[in-house]
Every structure is written in C-alpha cells, then in structure tokens.
Amino acid sequence: MPADCLSRQVVVIGSANLDLTVTVARLPREGETVLGGELLLSNGGKGANQAVAALKAGAEVRFLAKVGRDPFGDRICRDLVTAGLPANGLLRDESAPTGVALIVVDRQGRNQIAVAPGSNQLLLPEAIEQYEPFLAYGTVMLVQLEIPIVTVERAFRFAKANGMMTILNPAPASPLSDDLLRHVDLLTPNETEAEALTGIAVFDLPSATAAAKALLLRGPQVVIVTLGPQGALLCTASVVRHLPAVPVEAVDTTAAGDAFNGALAAVLAGKPRADALDTDRLLVLEDAVRFANAAGALATTKHGAQESLPTKAEIEKLLAGKPSP
C-alpha cells in the first residue's frame, strides 16, 4: 500500500439505509397531506453517507454495516462497492429487512425524516470483535448513533486500545454516558443534538458555546457544534473559534451533516494525531473544519444523500472561490 494511503485511513461504523425522498412545496403540518413532486430512491444511512463522504474527500475508507438479504440490501452493497468501499465490511442478515428512511424535502431544502432501522439494529458488539483485523488498520474511527449504543461503546473502546482518533457524530440525538464520552476525541453535534445532550437551548453563538463547554466537561477533547448556514463552532478547553459557512444556494439539506463529518475525518486522518488534538496548534483543526464546512455546503446544492456528496476537488474549488462550471 502506498505511503500516502497509510496516512489517510478512516474507519466508519454505522448504518446503511435506502432513502425514499419526496419533494414538496412545503413541509406538511401534523395530520396534513401535501401533494409532492418527484420521488427519489437513493442510498443513505448516516454511516454509509459518512463513509462515502470521507472516501470522496480523499481518504481510504473501511465501512462496517449490516443490511438485510433483500433487494434494498443488494442495491446498497452493489453501489457502495462500486463507489470504492470494501465488500467484506458489508454484512448481510437473514432475519431483518434493510433499513429505510422516509424523507420529505421542501423548496428551501428543509427536511423531515423518519427511519425504520431494520438490520441496522442487529449490528451488535460481536461484529466489532469478529472484524477486529478489518477495523484495526484505521487512524481515525467515525461513528454515529443509528446503530445500538452498546456497539458504539465497544467500537470506541477498540479504537482507543488501537491508538485511533475517535469522532462521534451524536445523531440522531440520544442519551450518552460520561464513560462513552471519555472515549471520544471529537464530538460533532448540531444545534438540536447539543441541546438534547446538555439541556441548553442552542439558538446563537453564545448558547452554542455554553453547550459546547458543558459537553467538554464530560470527556471529549474537542466539541464542534455544526450550525447549518451559520457554519460551525470549534471549542476546546482553552479556545473557541467560529468558522463561518461557505455561502451556497441550498436545495436539499439531506446528508449535509454527513458530508461535514466525513470530510472532517478525511482531513484529520492525514494529520499527525498530536497536531490534531494539541490546543496550542489549532490551525490543523480550523483548516479541517473549513474543509468540512465547504463539503457540507456543497451537499445542500444537490438532491439526495450520497448523490450530493462532493469530491475533494469540488471542495477545494469552492474554498478557492472558483465558480462551478
């Protein structure tokens, strides 16, 4: 394996779904039916999205997930392997269907999402133990919360035992123990998730800072609160930095957070660990967040989940201020 690949290895453990997306003029209110436009079937799931995002952002990626032995699972496995992810991390289960997400998107790109997790809930801690050789090659481990929390805990214990940097995207929001958070190097909640984890309503930079500082006290070395069109807030024990978003015309915010997390992991996988977590040298983290902000912004300019994820070249072009062709 080339030396440059050895320094950019990301391991993602998480969900894989089929997304069914309907575009509508506006999001429905409770009990209301809104006639929509197009129906889009696409591959999704936070884990799969983040794995593809990291891959397209320049990292070498291994992804561990579980899908059903059904047509949706067949499609997901085929497409993820075609994208460049190794087939031996895509586990199949006979007893549960592949996870499905139902998504409604309005003209402003805002969405509502409901998920039937299916086989994702059967990705149990035993899979971490069974696939240790497959997972141990990574320098960064990225995990979300669409799989059982016991699997997340086991994954991070394994990662720390193997000297890996750990990134937890706490989505969807779920209670987290201090023991788990002590195994997290970077925690990346959005406003809603930061509020759910702290009880602090997040609506501006001061409230985001308060929530981030509260989370730092529970164990993570770095908290990055993603703020949508406001960019992201980078917070360590000694420093707070606001990194503004890159302006774009959004059409669908689905997978924007996943693009951010995958791109963030890709950048940090290519940096020495000491640099990435040394609060006296924040340039590495700031650059990583700027790159991730651009990735998230670009993901909002296209419909769908994995279809919207940008390449490294596209991200770099946006950061350089070059217009799209």
Q: List the binding residues.
A: 17-19, 45-49, 146, 190, 226-231, 252, 254, 257-258, 293, 299, 302, 304, 308
Q: Which of 70, 93, 185, 258 is catalytic?
A: 258
pTM of the model: 0.91
Q: List the binding residues for substrate.
A: 17-19, 45-49, 146, 258
Residue 304: what are its φ and ψ, rounded to 5°?
Answer: 95, 180
What tokens does 100 get?
A: 């499905």
The pLDDT score that the predictor gives to residue 113 is: 87
Q: Looking at this protein, which amino acid is placed at residue 228? A: G
The pLDDT score that the predictor gives to residue 105 is: 87
Q: List the binding residues for ATP.
A: 190, 226-231, 257-258, 293
- Is residue 325 over pLDDT 80? no
- Is residue 67 over pLDDT 50? yes
Per-residue confidence band for 63, with pLDDT thresholds at 50, 70 and 90: very high
Residue 18: what are its φ and ψ, rounded to 5°?
Answer: -100, 125
Which sign does the torsion angle of CA 47, 48, 54, 60 carry? positive
Taking the domains of the chain in order of start, what are their residue ranges?
3-16+45-96+120-319
Measured CA to CA, the distance from residue 90 to residue 246 in angstroms comes to 34
Measured CA to CA, the distance from residue 292 to residue 260 in angstroms comes to 4
- Is residue 273 over pLDDT 80? no
Three-state DSSP state, 297: helix
pLDDT by residue (tens digit) across 124-150? 999 999 999 999 988 999 999 999 999
The pLDDT score that the predictor gives to residue 278 is: 57
Closest CA to 10 of 84, 95, 68, 104: 84
pLDDT by residue (tens digit) across 281-307? 688 899 999 999 999 999 999 987 898
Task: State the chain's mean pLDDT as an integer.
Answer: 91
Superfamily (CATH H level) for 3-16+45-96+120-319? Ribokinase (3.40.1190.20)
Measured CA to CA, the distance from residue 229 to residue 87 in angstroms comes to 36
What tokens does 145 get?
A: 């919360």
Beta carbons within 8 Å of 15's beta carbon, 6+ residues apart: 45, 46, 47, 48, 65, 99, 117, 120, 123, 144, 146, 147
pLDDT by residue (tens digit) across 4-57? 444 569 999 999 999 998 989 899 998 999 987 789 898 999 999 999 999 999
70 a catalytic residue: no
